[in-house]
Amino acid sequence: MIGRLNHVAIAVKDLEKAASVYKNALGAKVGPPLKQPEHGVTVIFIELPNTKIELLEPLGENSPIAKFLEKAPDGGIHHVCYEVEDIMASRDQLRAQGARILGDGNPKIGAHGKPVLFLHPKDFCGTLVELEQV
């Protein structure tokens, strides 16, 4: 079921400052900011040769990233995203094994314009997992 690592998401307070660190200190290719109001975030993708880093900044008062930053004021790794070929089949297989799907259990369109689901961190070794259909 699980495919390649699509990205590692890092919650940050200041998106432009974080992007500057990756661009200027590490020489990475940095994309433009993308507002994702349905997810309560603004994102910037950092392109790496083998995957991406997704920087997440809160967008709006009810952003899940704002809540994350309350607990971890310096920011940090928020989730990992794995690719799957069929998100509905993956969801059904995971549910059958007892995994909890966050939200209403139906995919939403993510920052790449593809369907995504989030899996409860208590079911995956304390890590929030995002699945993205490719």
Catalytic residue numbers, as ranges: 130
Length of the chain equals 134
Three-state DSSP at 23 gives: helix
> Which residue is listed with tokens 């507002």?
35
Residue 118: φ, ψ to 5°:
-115, 140
What is the distance in angstroms between the CA of the first residue and the CA of the last residue of the chain? 12
